[in-house]
Structure formats: structure tokens, C-alpha cells
């Protein structure tokens, strides 16, 4: 089990801006980590595929004839065209490049080259198969890595593995929402690893979840992961009404808003609410005893531009009423449209702009002074865990 370097207590703000550091992140961190791409349940049939972009490079994951998952760089060996279009689909029993018709089987072997005789007798089709990348699944989740030497997924998940299995096992995707923001990818991931901000950034948390994070824990999970847990909060709709009125002048009665009705299935209120952050760019939210399970992955587009994709998950084969509730309600606080997340992108955009100030080069990461890996809910062991691993990976050869 790799041990993290001493967790840093400051962040140099230039890491949100500097293009050389951004390029280095693609070469090191995004190349040498496991990257979540989707749920195994999305690839049910022969030839089903998902595409993704890892370290700026297109990849393809598919289900072959033996029901195995295969993953490749999504580039034709001939002239480089991507073999598929769109986020997902079905390619049948072969991948055929739309450009010159070169064809590959689902194991990536080159099986068809139109007018092959022009290449002469020495043309070696075996050398022109698709370049495979590593693919593994854990708890029904598909991860890939473009580093052929990377450790197994389970070893990489480290101390986070049991939590991922507990909170996310065997779910299917019920919907996806994407948004972009003008900020560095690390800012969004940090936002998850941070339980200090919600009651200040989000008036809805301050009011409807009064007492948020007064109890709970903040944990470093090796290597580079984090776990935030806090007790489920009963909703304080009276405080919400007062807050809405103070901000807007409107008299609102949230008790008459079906958004705040209980879901049509039992919730174990003793279960804590959970955020699990995996290094480098994966974030899981598990709320109301699993009534809401949300995954987010940050894709770096540029040092100051990021795409976030949010997936809402649900148990495979759940009853129709429960499914309908999740489809209607699970994303209401999420995404750049959400009652909570709508404020997060504001905070991050401001941090990105403020980071340009050369005279103030450092950010503070000191919450939680006790040694060790576990602190109180609003501490920053989870953030320091991330940056210890970030430092280690970015300086590796």
C-alpha cells in the first residue's frame, strides 16, 4: 500500500492557472490513475460501447462476445480517426472505421483492410490492432487506465474500496447531466472534499439543514482519497421559509412543496450522509440512506476550464415508484441548475479569478491540527490527502 507523503498545509494557487503544470497533470496524474467511465450495467449487450476522454485522449470500452469488457484507445491504426461517435452505442460484432473501412473485431484485432494488396506481401496486420488500455470493474463500476503498468484497481482504491462497495454497489445510471465552468478541475474536486463551506455557500443548507456538519468526520483515505460523513439532517422547513422570506420578501410554505415529501420507500435515518472523493477526479454523494446516489467526474479541458459529468444512480430493478421519485427528485440540488450546486460554481469561478493575484500566492489548508488521518466534520484531512498524493504524482518521473 503506497503511503502518502506528509500532507501539505498550503496550496500554491498557480496550480490552478499554470499551463505547464496542467500539461504535466495530463502526463502524470491523468495518465497514471484509474479513471471512472461508467457503470457495467450500461454495457449489457454484445457490442455495446462507451467512449470517454482520458488525459485528453479518446478511449473506447466495449462488451465482447465472451461478455468481457475490452478497452482501447479510440483511434484507427491507419490514419487515426475515432472509430465511434457519441458517448455510447452499439457497434455490433466489429468496429469499422468510417474513413477507409479498416475493420477490427471486438478484441481489437485488425480483420479487414480494403484493397489490402497495395500494402504488399509483408503487411503485418497483427501490428495494426487497436492499442488496448487497462480496464477493470469494481462493485459494478468500470474504471480504465492508459498506464499499462498501473497497479490493480483494488490496490489503487486502497482504503476507499470498502466504502465504494458499500455505497455504490451494483447500481445503474438513470441519467446524466453535464456542465462546464471557467475554472480548474481541482477546484470542483476540492469542493466535495470540503464540509466547511456548505452552510456558508448554500443558504438552503444553512436553513433547511440547520446544524449541518456540527457532528461527523473528515477522513484521509490512502492513497489520496477522502471520506466525509455526517448525520442525516431532518429538514427544518420553518427555517427555510424564514430564509427564503428574508432573501426575497416572498412568503413561501415549503411544507406544501412535494419536493420535501418523503420518498416512497423506507429510509434508514441512522445512516450518515457521505461524500467519498477518489483521487484524482471522482466524487460520490450518498444521501438519505441511499435515496440519492450521485457520481461526478471532472474532466480537465484547460487549466481554467473543466467539464463535469454527473450521473444519478439507482438500484438495478428497483420498483417503479422508487424509480420515478429518483428521476423526478435526485438532481434537484445538483448540477449548475441545482439549489445547492448552483452556488458552488460561483464560488469556484471567484477562486479561479482570485488565484491570478501574484501578491497572494498561497491558500490555506490547515483545518484540523491533530496528527493522524481523521478529524472533525469541517476539518481538511480529506483535502490534505488529495494534495499529498497530487504532490507525489506530479513530481514522479
Partner 1 sequence: MDSEAAEKRIQIEDLLVRYARLLDERRFPEWIELFTDDASYSAITRENLQDKGLLLFKDDGREALKERAAFVMGYYQAARFRTLHTVSNIEIGPSSRDETACSSYFVIYRSPWNGPPELHACGEYRDRLVMIGGGWKFRERLVIVDNGALPQNFTELP
Tell me the number of residues near partner 1 by CB under 8 A. 50
Q: What is the DSSP string of 193-207?
A: T-SSSHHHH-HHHHH
Cα four-point dihedral sign 142, 298, 291, 230: positive
Q: Which three cell numbers stand for residue 313?
A: 444512480
- Contact residue for partner 1 among 201, 233, 277, 385 (CB under 8 A): 201
Among 19, 67, 93, 178, binds partner 1 (CB under 8 A): 178
The span from the CA of 213 to the CA of 377, in Å, is 6
Distance between CA 143 and CA 151 in Å, rounded? Answer: 12
Does 176 interact with partner 1 (rule: CB under 8 A)? yes
Q: Which is nearer to partner 1, 33 or 306 (CB)?
A: 306
244: contact with partner 1 by CB under 8 A: yes
180 binds partner 1 (CB under 8 A): yes
Min CB(195)–partner 1 separation in Å: 18
d(Cα 307, Cα 175) in Å, to the nearest integer? 16
Instruction: Say whether residue 153 binds partner 1 (CB under 8 A).
Output: no
* x/- letters, 303..332, toward partner 1 (CB under 8 A): ----x----x-------------xxxxxxx
Nearer to partner 1 among residue 9 and residue 203 (C-beta) = 203
58 near partner 1, judged by CB under 8 A: no
The beta-strand segments (E) located in 77-169 are 88-90, 94-96, 103-105, 110-112, 134-138, 141-145
Contacting partner 1 within 327-346 (CB under 8 A)? 327-332, 335-339, 342-343, 345-346
Sign of CA dihedral 299, 331, 337, 230: negative
What minimum distance in Å lies between the beta carbon of 40 and partner 1? 17
Of 320, 349, 327, residue with least CA distance to 336: 349
38/216 with CB nearer partner 1? 38
Contact between 364 and partner 1 (CB under 8 A)?
no
Q: Which is nearer to partner 1, 347 or 394 (CB)?
A: 347
- Segment lying near partner 1 (by CB under 8 A), choices 155-163, 240-248, 267-275, 367-375: 240-248
Q: How far apart are CA 142 and CA 280, in angstroms?
A: 16
Residue 184 and residue 304 in contact, taking contact as beta carbons nearer than 8 Å: yes
- Residue closer to partner 1, measured from CB, 153 or 308: 308
DSSP secondary structure of 283-315: EEEEEGGGTEEEEEEEEEEETTEEEEEEEEEEE
Q: Which of 46, 322, 349, 374 binds partner 1 (CB under 8 A)?
A: 349
Site stretch for partner 1 (CB under 8 A), options 93-101, 148-156, 177-185, 368-376: 177-185
Q: Which three cell numbers stand for residue 191?
A: 469542493
* Residue 145 vs 330, nearer CB to partner 1: 330
The residue whose grid cell reads 454523494 is: 285
Radius of gyration of the chain measured on its C-alpha atoms: 23
Instruction: Check binding of 356 to partner 1 (CB under 8 A).
Output: no
DSSP state, 162? H
CB distance 22 to 390 below 8 Å: no
- Binding residues for partner 1, per CB under 8 A? 174-183, 201-204, 243-245, 247-259, 307, 312, 326-332, 335-339, 342-343, 345-347, 349
Amino acid at each position: 500500500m503506497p503511503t502518502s507523503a506528509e500532507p501539505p498545509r498550503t496550496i500554491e494557487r498557480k496550480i490552478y492557472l499554470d499551463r505547464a503544470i496542467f500539461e504535466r497533470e495530463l502526463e502524470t496524474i491523468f495518465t497514471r490513475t484509474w479513471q471512472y467511465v461508467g457503470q457495467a450495467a450500461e454495457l449489457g449487450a454484445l457490442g455495446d460501447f462507451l467512449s470517454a476522454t482520458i488525459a485528453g485522449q479518446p478511449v473506447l470500452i466495449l462488451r465482447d462476445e465472451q461478455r468481457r469488457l475490452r478497452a482501447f484507445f479510440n483511434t484507427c491504426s491507419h490514419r487515426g480517426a475515432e472509430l465511434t461517435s457519441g458517448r455510447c452505442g452499439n457497434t455490433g460484432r466489429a468496429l469499422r472505421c468510417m474513413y477507409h473501412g479498416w475493420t477490427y473485431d471486438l478484441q481489437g484485432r485488425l480483420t479487414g483492410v480494403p484493397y489490402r494488396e497495395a500494402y504488399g506481401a509483408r503487411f503485418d496486420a497483427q501490428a495494426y490492432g487497436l492499442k488496448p488500455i487497462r480496464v477493470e470493474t469494481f462493485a459494478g463500476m468500470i474504471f480504465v487506465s492508459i498506464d499499462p503498468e498501473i497497479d490493480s484497481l483494488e490496490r489503487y482504491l486502497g482504503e476507499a474500496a470498502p466504502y465504494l462497495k458499500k455505497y455504490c454497489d451494483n447500481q445503474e445510471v438513470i441519467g446524466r447531466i453535464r456542465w462546464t465552468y471557467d475554472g480548474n478541475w481541482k477546484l470542483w474536486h476540492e469542493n466535495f472534499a470540503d464540509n466547511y463551506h456548505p452552510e456558508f455557500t448554500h443558504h438552503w443548507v444553512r436553513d433547511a439543514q440547520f446544524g449541518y456538519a456540527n457532528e461527523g468526520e473528515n477522513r484521509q483515505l490512502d492513497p489520496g482519497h477522502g471520506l466525509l460523513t455526517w448525520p442525516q439532517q431532518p429538514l427544518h422547513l420553518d427555517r427555510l421559509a424564514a430564509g427564503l422570506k428574508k432573501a426575497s420578501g416572498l412568503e413561501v410554505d415549503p411544507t406544501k412543496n412535494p419536493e420535501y415529501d418523503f420518498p416512497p420507500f423506507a429510509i434508514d435515518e441512522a445512516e450518515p450522509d457521505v461524500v467519498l472523493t477518489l483521487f484524482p477526479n471522482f466524487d460520490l454523494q450518498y444521501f438519505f440512506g441511499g435515496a440519492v446516489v450521485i457520481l461526478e467526474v471532472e474532466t480537465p479541458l484547460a487549466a481554467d476550464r473543466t467539464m463535469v459529468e454527473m450521473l444519478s444512480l439507482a438500484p438495478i430493478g428497483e420498483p417503479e415508484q422508487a424509480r420515478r421519485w429518483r428521476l423526478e427528485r435526485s438532481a434537484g440540488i445538483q448540477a449548475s441548475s441545482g439549489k445547492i450546486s448552483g452556488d458552488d460554481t460561483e464560488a469556484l469561478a471567484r477562486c479561479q479569478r482570485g488565484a491570478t493575484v501574484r501578491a497572494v500566492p498561497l491558500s490555506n489548508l490547515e483545518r484540523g491540527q491533530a496528527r493522524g488521518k481523521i478529524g472533525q466534520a469541517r476539518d481538511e484531512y480529506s483535502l490534505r490527502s488529495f494534495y499529498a498524493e497530487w504532490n507525489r504524482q506530479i513530481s514522479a518521473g
